[in-house]
């Protein structure tokens, strides 16, 4: 048995599985498929032909911890999913996020508030996307990567599995840190290899290739291949590999 608030608007051909909850003022476009045990919170907007798998939670209102560096100010807009989005099983996508058309958010991923994700993006299984993140069109983030708050990934960026981005050089201590928290800025076409770590505030320039397992401690040059701990320049990226 489902609960669908009378104010919710469901387009033609919408399918809703068993034991799902659709709250006040939700709008679901035509042809959408909503799985079993899905919770869609108040005001969420879901585009046409979008698929939401079992156990997903959409439009969850955030509630930061008392010691969190990210504070809520004002009222968050509802979650917006464009057309042809796919949401995997047991994903949690918060209120205040905006997801572009054709994007896939795979099973067990988490997308926080104040996040903008472009069109045709892949957010892999178990990926965490924290607050105030921007992700460009056709970017791919593979399984179990961590995209910290205040990070920007431009278009056509590739993030391999288990990549970690960071934003706090003080690791949670001193009041000074609050004014200096900053994630990575990864520019168009850059590729970051598996299990790499990017330190706070680092800029990865266009078409940079970061080898697997690298520790990126300083800004890169465009079209540079870097590797090592700490990562160092090896050579320029082959012209055949550029976008």
- Residues sharing a CB contact under 8 Å with residue 141, sequence separation 6 or more, in sequence order: 121, 122, 123, 124, 127, 129, 135, 147, 153, 159, 163
Q: With a threshold of 0.85, does the pTM exceed it?
A: yes
Q: Which is nearest to 60 in space by CA: 86, 40, 88?
A: 40
Residues making up the chain, counted from first to last: 243
- List, for residues 27-68, the tens digit of each pLDDT value: 999 999 999 999 999 999 999 999 999 999 999 999 877 777
Q: Is the pLDDT of residue 174 over 80?
A: no
Given a cut of 90, is residue 140 above it in pLDDT?
yes
Domains recognised in the chain with CATH numbers: 1-60+77-99 (2.160.10.10), 130-236 (2.160.10.10)
For residue range 67-111, what is the model confidence (pLDDT) as tens digits? 776 677 778 999 999 999 999 999 999 999 999 999 999 999 999
Mean local confidence (pLDDT), 161-186: 87
What span, in angstroms and rounded, lies between the C-alpha atoms of 23 and 57?
A: 12
pLDDT of 197 strictly over 90: yes
- The answer to whether residue 153 scores a pLDDT higher than 80 is yes
């Amino acid at each position: 048995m489902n609960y669908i608030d009378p104010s919710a608007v469901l387009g033609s051909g919408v399918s809703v599985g068993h034991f799902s909850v659709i709250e006040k003022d939700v709008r679901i476009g035509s042809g959408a498929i909503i799985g079993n045990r899905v919770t869609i919170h108040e005001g969420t907007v879901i585009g046409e032909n979008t698929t939401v798998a079992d156990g997903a939670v959409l439009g969850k209102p955030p509630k930061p911890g008392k010691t969190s560096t990210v504070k809520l100010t004002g009222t968050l807009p509802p979650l917006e999913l464009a057309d042809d989005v796919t949401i995997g099983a047991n994903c949690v996508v918060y209120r205040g996020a905006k997801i572009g058309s054709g994007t896939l958010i795979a099973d067990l991923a988490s997308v926080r508030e104040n996040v903008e994700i472009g069109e045709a993006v892949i957010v892999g299984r178990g990926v965490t996307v924290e607050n105030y993140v921007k992700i460009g069109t056709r970017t791919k983030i593979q399984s179990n990567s961590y995209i910290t708050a205040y990070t920007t990934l431009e278009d056509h960026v590739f993030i391999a599995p288990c990549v970690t981005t960071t934003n706090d050089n003080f690791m949670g201590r001193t009041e000074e840190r609050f004014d200096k928290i900053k994630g990575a800025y990864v520019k168009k076409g850059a590729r970051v290899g598996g299990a790499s770590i990017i330190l706070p505030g680092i800029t990865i320039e266009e078409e940079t290739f970061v080898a697997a397992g690298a520790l990126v401690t300083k800004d890169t040059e465009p079209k540079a291949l870097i590797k090592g701990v700490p990562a160092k320049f090896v050579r320029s990226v082959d012209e055949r590999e550029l976008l």
